[in-house]
Amino acid sequence: MTAEITTEKARIGAPSIAGFTEEGEGLVSAKVDHSHNHGVTVMSSRAERLTSFDVADFALPTGREEEWRFTPVRGLANLFSDAATDGDAAAFTVEAPEGYVRSALAQGAAPRGTVLTPADRAAVVASANTDEALHVVIPADAEPAEPVRILVDGAGAGRRSNAHYVLEAGANSRSVVILEHTGAADHNGNLEVIVGEGAKLTVISVQLWEDDAKHLAQHDAQVGKDAVYKHIAVSLGGSIVRLNSNVRFAGEGAEAELLGLYFADAGQHLEHRSFVDHNVANCKSNVLYKGALQGKNAHTVWVGDVLIQKQALGTDSYEKNQNLVLTDGCRADSVPNLEIETGLIEGAGHASSTGRFDDEHLFYLMARGIPEEVARRLVVRGFLNEIIQQIKVPALEERLTEAVERELAATEN
Amino acid sequence: MSTLEIKDLHVSIDTEQGTKEILKGVSLTIRTGETHAIMGPNGSGKSTLASTIAGHPRYKVTGGTITLDGEDVLAMSVDERARAGLFLAMQYPVEVPGVTMTNFLRTAKTAIDGEAPALRTWTKDVKAAMQQLRIDADFAQRNVNEGFSGGEKKRVEILQLELFKPKFAVLDETDSGLDVDALKIVSEGVNRAHAEGNMGTMLITHYTRILRYIKPEFVHVFVDGQIVEEGGPELADRLEEEGYDRYAKGAGAATIAAAAAQA
């Protein structure tokens, strides 16, 4: 096992102390690789990150770049190549009330491109190679009884697939949209979300891929005045999954909640990045990602950026990442970055902890009569339930609970 | 009446320097209704005895037996021992992430009794027991031991003792780190469990002060992995006056030093 500790230079916060890592409740044993460091400045502002529609602007990632340094880029050559979708590499099914699905949007056809500008190589090749973007509009004031579903089913490992979806929630609508990934593919998927004034939209992106799928995604949302946007990323399957969930605001009084749940097994790389751009005054954001890890070389990454711009007075923001390490040989990287350009805010907090479920926990629970498998389930279910119960789609909550149980069963064997 | 019988127990642990014998032939019989104090200096192996009874994987039994009413305890897994009626109040209760006290207590009670407790009476019982131990009601919603102070953790151990109603309780230095008020509260809890459940108690302690509140019928002095003297409550009084020094002389200073090094 390597004892590699990455050091992070955040832009604000306590001075960084070499070798210092913040840990959750003293549960981390020295055997666990994990890092979480925050300190003082060096990096440029998150606002200055390159975005472009031109593939040529993004070189092939080498892994040395700030935003790719945790990612196993060597396994992603196919997804980085500026290539068209390989035939029917993925089947797309949309379940939505009549009239919700509009004609596809070509490159440059608004509202496509108004919210999402590709921010990395994967997103730009997905954008450039998707001539017809799926366009779903939830009409103003609509409250569909059932969630809208976009099902992406990969046809096979290594098959290249590009996608771009544009989702609009009309003013004062109330809706849930589930983006579900199954099967296997090398899938680049962009999601562009426009949340209208006073609308309430929950987007749930579920990664139930087979073991050999790879998936890179950029999900960008713009949240209108007094609107509430919730994005929940649930990553259980796939060999490499990297999902960037970004949000900014179009009017005051808006709220954004970026949530995530992941469970990485041996050899799996699950990476989640979130960026909340408080570009407007009096908005609220809450970020919470929780992950479990088990098995050799299970690797999870969370990088949470929050930028509170100068004009964003009255901002209230919080971000937190918690990881639960179930076995030796796992690695959880956790990097919160908070960048604040005004002091006139309600609050801005961040937290990160990596706890370990080890033999002592197991002994404690078993010494109270609880059998081993029940003890493990108790701990993991309790830990992840905080996110699952936010989904509020009972059938999906049940499926995900079962999927988590299956992951756990794999630990026991 | 039940009997917990420990016969010629030898226990070792693996250290970086190799295998080390901690218990060197311990024999002890406890019946329900009895309270036994195990007293001895730090590093004498008292906690090893407690953890071995509960089945902690770190401790390897190399000889001897532990039986509960004739059943082989050493053949049971950790959870089986608890279900058979053994309870260890731990010296350092661990924090368990992700599990609320409420959920934990109910799950454990269900496992121990073999059926879920009746919800209405259970909730009432938990509340009442928490009140008696002066544990804040909001602890029920917090994760097991997470962020609890040392004294709070000890009280929560006794809370479990009262709720799970074991046949035998092993209290591993439950008194250490408690102020006088907390010590009284915890002792009252043990005495209640004792009176109501006809429980057998093995009270492991370094100090005599807990014996002002919990009265043992038997006192065993533990030095270097062995019981070196046994007697009634008067032995504890004598220890209070004289300390463990005379055992040091009797056993030889080198032995005591070696025992202390194991701490």
Question: Across the interface, do A364 and B96 touch by the CB < 8 Å criterion?
Answer: yes
A24: contact with B, CB 8 A cutoff? yes
Looking at the complex, report in whole angstroms how far the Cα of residue A98 sits from the nearest Cα belonging to chain B.
43
> Which residue in A364, A369, A371 is closest to B93 by CB distance?
A364
What is residue A201's predicted lDDT score, i.e. its pLDDT? 98
Instruction: Tell the residue number behind the tokens 């994967």, with chain if given.
Output: A122
Residues of A in contact with B93 (CB under 8 A): 364
Q: Which two tokens stand for residue B216?
A: 């043992």
User: Distance between CA atoms of A165 and A130, rounded to whole angstroms?
Assistant: 9
Cβ(A365)–Cβ(A37) under 8 Å? no
B163: contact with A, CB 8 A cutoff? no
Between the alpha carbon of residue B92 and those of residues A312, A313, A360, B95, B174, the distances in Å are 47, 47, 10, 9, 9
> Which residue in B88, B95, B99 is closest to A367 by CB distance?
B88
> Which pLDDT tens digit goes with each residue over B165-183?
999 999 999 998 899 999 9
What is residue A168's predicted lDDT score, i.e. its pLDDT? 98
Cβ(A134)–Cβ(A101) under 8 Å? yes
Question: Across the interface, do A365 and B77 touch by the CB < 8 Å criterion?
Answer: no
Question: Across the interface, do A368 and B111 touch by the CB < 8 Å criterion?
Answer: yes
> What is the model's pTM?
0.78
Q: Of B224, B60, B96, B102, give the one whose Cα is nearest residue A362.
A: B96
A365: contact with B, CB 8 A cutoff? yes
What is residue B249's predicted lDDT score, i.e. its pLDDT? 55
Best of B107, B162, B167 to disrupt the A interface by mutation (most A CBs within 10 Å)? Answer: B107
Question: Across the interface, do A363 and B96 touch by the CB < 8 Å criterion?
Answer: no
B82: contact with A, CB 8 A cutoff? yes
Name the closest residue on chain A to residue B90, using Cα atoms: A364
pLDDT band at B253 (very low <50, low <70, confident <90, very high): very low
What is residue A307's predicted lDDT score, i.e. its pLDDT? 97
Question: Across the interface, do A383 and B82 touch by the CB < 8 Å criterion?
Answer: no
What is residue A405's predicted lDDT score, i.e. its pLDDT? 87
What is residue B177's predicted lDDT score, i.e. its pLDDT? 87
Better-scored residue on pLDDT, B243 or A23: B243
Question: Across the interface, do A355 and B97 touch by the CB < 8 Å criterion?
Answer: yes
A373: contact with B, CB 8 A cutoff? no
Q: Average per-residue pLDDT in chain B?
A: 92
By residue count, chain A amounts to: 413
What is residue A412's predicted lDDT score, i.e. its pLDDT? 53
Residues of B in contact with A25 (CB under 8 A): 95, 97, 146-147
Q: State yes or no: pLDDT of B244 exceeds 80.
A: yes
Residues of A in contact with B103 (CB under 8 A): 378, 382
In sequence order, the 6+-apart residues with CB closer than 8 A to the CB of A283 are: A223, A249, A252, A253, A254, A255, A256, A312, A315, A316
What is residue B246's predicted lDDT score, i.e. its pLDDT? 80
pLDDT band at B261 (very low <50, low <70, confident <90, very high): low
Between the alpha carbon of residue B237 and those of residues B126, B215, B222, the distances in Å are 36, 12, 16
Sign of the Cα torsion A219, A384, A173, A225 reads negative
What is residue A158's predicted lDDT score, i.e. its pLDDT? 97
Question: Which of the residues in chain A have pLDDT under 50?
Answer: 1-42, 413
